[in-house]
Structure 1
Amino acid sequence: MDLLLDIDNIDYKKTALNVQGFLDHKLPHILRLANENPASLKSPVISDMPINHDGSNHNEDKIVKYIAAKNLINGVAKAFQSCSKTSFQILKSKYIDNLQDWQVEQLMYCSHSTYFKLRDKAYNEFADCFELQNGCKDLHVYK
Structure 2
Amino acid sequence: MALLPELDETKTIKKVKRFFEKEFPTLQNMAHVAFVDIKSPVISGMPVSHGAGNSSETKVSMHAYAKDVLGKVVNACNGLDQKHRHILELRYFKKLTWYEIYQLTGYGKTRGNELLNEAFLQFAWAFVDVEDLRKFK
Match for residue 135 of structure 2 among 117, 120, 141: 141
Could you tell me which residue of structure 2 aligns to residue 95 of structure 1? Answer: 92
Output the TM-score relative to the length of structure 2.
0.78
Whole-angstrom CA distance in 1 between matches of 2:2 and 2:55: 41
Match for residue 119 of structure 1 among 88, 100, 116: 116
RMSD (Å) for aligned C-alpha atoms:
2.5
Residue 20 of structure 1 deviates from its aligned partner by 1.1
Task: Provide the secondary structure at the position in 2 that maps to 1:137.
Answer: coil
Output the TM-score relative to the length of structure 1.
0.75
Whole-angstrom CA distance in 2 between matches of 1:125 and 1:95: 15
Gaps of 5+ in 1: 45-55
Question: CA 1:41–1:4 in 2, change beyond 3 Å: closer, same or farther?
Answer: same
1:25 alignment partner AA: K
Whole-angstrom CA distance in 1 between matches of 2:39 and 2:73: 9
Whole-angstrom CA distance in 1 between matches of 2:25 and 2:108: 29
**Are 2:46 and 1:62 equivalent residues in the alignment?**
no
Aligned length: 126
Residue 38 of structure 1 deviates from its aligned partner by 2.3
Identity of aligned residues (%): 26
**Are 2:14 and 1:17 equivalent residues in the alignment?**
yes
Gaps of 5+ in 2: 42-52
Residue 110 of structure 1 deviates from its aligned partner by 3.3
Could you tell me which residue of structure 2 aligns to residue 35 of structure 1? Answer: 32
